[in-house]
C-alpha cells in the first residue's frame, strides 16, 4: 500500500498578546486580584498568545453563545483559508487536486460550515469529500491525520486536514474557580493545516494509536453554556496522562518493530508546563527532549487541536533532517492519541 506522506504544513495566528499585559490589563481585575490566579498566569509557561479577541480592547465575558458563534464564522474563514493555502503551497498541491478535506474545531459551529465555505473560497473540485470533527478537543488533529492518511493510501489522491481553534471566543464570566484561571492563562487561537500526498520523500504516517481512561472522563470537560464554552480541568489530569504515556507510545511503535528509545523527536501537545514535565519523565526523555513543545507553548500558548501540528512544524523547520517523530496529544476522555511519522 502506498504511504501517505506529510508534504506541507501551514500555520496562521491572529495578532499577538503578551501574557503579562493580559494579566496586568485585564485578568488581574477580572479575578479580583487573586494571588493564586496570578501565580497560575506566572507559571503557565506562556509568554505570548494570539487571539481574535483581545480582552484589553473587547470584553466578551458576558456575550451570549450565539453572538460568539457569529464571530467565529467571521474570523475562522480567513484564518483557515490562509493556513490551508500555505500548506498547499509548500506541498505543491493545487486545491482542485484534493480528494478529502478534514476540518477540525471544538470552538465554533455553523451550517453551512467552515468546510463548505473553504471549498467555495478555494474553488476545490465538486467531488472533494469533506469531514468535520467537532468537540474532540486538543487531541483531534491526530485522528484527523489518521483519516486523511487512510484516504490517501487507499485512493492515491492528496488530502488535507485543517484545525481552526478560536479559544479566545470563550472567555467566561468572572469567577473564583481556579480551573478557569488555568484555562484563561493557557489557551490561544491558531489555524494549522497539513497536506498529505501519496508517496514521495518526507515523513509518512506509519501508525496511529489511542488510549482512553474512561474512569477519569470527567477530569477534563468542555461544555456549551449560555456564555460560550466552559472548560473544566481537574488538578490530577497531568498525573493520569503520565500514567498512560509510555503504554500509549509502546502501542504506537511496537507494531513497527521499534521501542521507546528509537524515536528521534517528540511532538507532545503542550497542554501546560506540568503536563510536559510529567510526560517527559514518564517517557524518560532527555532534558531538552520536549524543547519544541515548550517553545510552542511559550510563543503561542495552548491552541487546542492546532497545537500538535504547530509542534511538528517547528521540529521540521528546526531540524530538516529529522526522520522520526512521535506526536502525542491529549484531551477529554481522558484520551491520549499518538502518531508515528517516519521517512524511508
Q: Which residues contact 263 (CB under 8 A, 6 or more apart)?
A: 249, 253, 324, 325, 326
Q: Beta-carbon neighbour count of residue 191 at 10 Å?
A: 30
Rounded CA gap, 162 and 141, in Å? 8
Report which of 125, 156, 161 is spatially closest to residue 141, judged by C-alpha positions: 161
Q: 3-class DSSP state for residue 176?
A: coil
- How far from 47 is each of 19, 23, 299, 300, 320, CA to CA, in Å? 5, 11, 6, 8, 26
Of the candidates 106, 138, 163, 303, the residue annotated as catalytic is 138
Q: 3-class DSSP state for residue 183?
A: helix
106 is catalytic: no
DSSP state of 337: E
The radius of gyration of the chain from alpha carbons, rounded to an integer in Å, stands at 19
Q: 3-class DSSP state for residue 157?
A: coil
Residues forming the active site:
138
Amino acid at each position: 500500500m502506498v504511504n501517505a506522506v506529510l508534504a506541507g504544513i501551514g500555520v496562521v495566528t491572529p495578532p499577538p498578546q503578551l501574557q503579562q499585559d493580559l494579566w496586568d490589563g485585564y485578568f488581574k481585575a477580572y479575578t479580583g486580584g487573586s494571588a493564586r490566579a496570578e501565580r497560575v498566569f506566572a507559571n503557565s509557561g506562556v509568554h505570548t498568545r494570539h487571539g481574535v479577541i483581545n480582552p484589553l480592547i473587547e470584553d466578551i465575558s458576558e456575550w451570549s453563545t450565539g453572538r460568539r458563534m457569529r464571530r467565529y464564522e467571521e474570523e475562522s474563514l480567513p484564518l483557515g483559508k490562509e493556513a490551508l493555502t500555505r500548506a498547499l503551497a509548500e506541498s505543491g498541491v493545487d486545491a482542485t487536486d484534493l480528494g478529502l478535506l478534514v476540518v477540525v474545531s471544538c470552538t465554533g459551529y455553523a451550517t453551512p460550515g467552515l468546510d463548505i465555505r473553504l471549498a467555495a473560497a478555494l474553488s476545490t473540485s465538486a467531488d472533494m469529500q469533506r469531514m468535520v470533527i467537532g468537540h474532540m478537543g486538543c487531541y483531534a488533529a491526530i485522528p484527523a491525520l489518521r483519516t486523511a492518511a487512510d484516504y490517501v493510501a487507499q485512493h492515491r489522491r492528496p488530502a488535507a486536514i485543517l484545525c481552526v481553534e478560536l479559544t479566545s471566543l470563550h472567555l467566561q464570566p468572572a469567577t473564583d474557580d481556579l480551573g478557569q484561571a488555568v484555562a484563561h492563562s493557557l489557551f490561544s487561537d491558531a489555524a494549522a493545516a497539513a497536506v498529505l500526498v501519496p508517496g514521495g520523500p518526507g515523513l509518512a504516517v506509519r501508525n496511529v494509536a489511542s488510549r482512553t481512561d474512561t474512569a477519569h472522563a470527567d477530569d477534563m470537560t468542555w461544555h456549551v453554556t449560555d456564555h460560550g464554552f466552559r472548560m473544566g480541568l481537574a488538578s490530577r489530569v497531568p498525573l493520569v496522562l503520565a500514567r498512560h504515556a509510555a503504554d500509549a507510545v509502546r502501542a504506537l511503535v511496537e507494531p513497527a518493530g521499534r521501542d521507546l528509545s528509537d524515536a528521534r523527536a517528540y511532538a507532545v501537545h503542550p497542554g501546560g508546563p506540568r503536563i510536559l514535565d510529567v510526560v517527559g519523565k514518564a517517557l524518560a526523555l532527555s532534558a531538552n527532549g520536549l524543547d519544541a513543545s515548550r517553545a510552542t507553548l511559550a510563543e503561542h500558548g495552548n491552541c487546542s487541536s492546532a497545537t500538535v501540528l504547530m509542534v511538528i512544524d517547528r521540529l521540521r523547520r528546526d531540524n530538516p533532517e529529522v526522520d522520526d517523530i512521535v506526536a502525542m496529544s491529549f484531551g477529554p476522555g481522558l484520551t491520549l492519541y499518538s502518531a508515528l511519522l517516519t521517512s524511508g
